[in-house]
Chain A
Amino acid sequence: MHKGRQSLFVVLVVTSIPETDKEGFLRNTADWDTAIAEHLADLEGIVLTEDHWEVIHLVRDYYQHYRLFPANRVLVTKLREAFGETKGSSIHLMKLFTGKPAKHIARIAGLPKPPNCD
């Protein structure tokens, strides 16, 4: 007997944060998604804007292709090619990701700690 259409919406907000190492880098790159990126950025006190996402996606693409976190000079070149002169600079990266861009970008992008970072 139907008394009318009953709809049951079950909204599950799953905020499971994937496993990280003791420095906060995701153990498994495949665990990453944009929501997790926002969470990880929040831990660094960074609010992600379109400028941040450009960098994050570029770095993730680079990693997918080459299994490397691009050296700063390579990253800057790639950003310049993709987004133009003002985006392709160390200063731009420093502004977006504060003091140690490589480390912050890698952590937020769900990639392993880059070589040469302390």
Chain B
Amino acid sequence: MILHTINKLSALALCRDLISEGDKVVLLEDGVYLGLQPLPFATLAIRVDVEARGLSGRLTKQTESIEYSEFVDLCTRADKVCSWF
């Protein structure tokens, strides 16, 4: 499994071509704002970053909030991690 992390809106342009079927995408820091818009892939968003920005209940259906511990678990299970910033 390939894990992508996106930490700001502008980084989406860098990676949207590079995310393929079956990859996991985590939105963190200012990247969680991407959870407001329709994207061509499902995403996971760090809950504390979502709440800090007042986005709880405002995210699209394809965005699921996760805890740090789940993020850590994903990182350890991923074959490779691509961090887009």
Please determine if A and B sit in direct contact within the complex, based on CB atoms under 8 angstroms apart: no
Chain B residues with a Cβ under 8 A of chain A: none
* A binding-site residues for B, Cβ under 8 Å: none
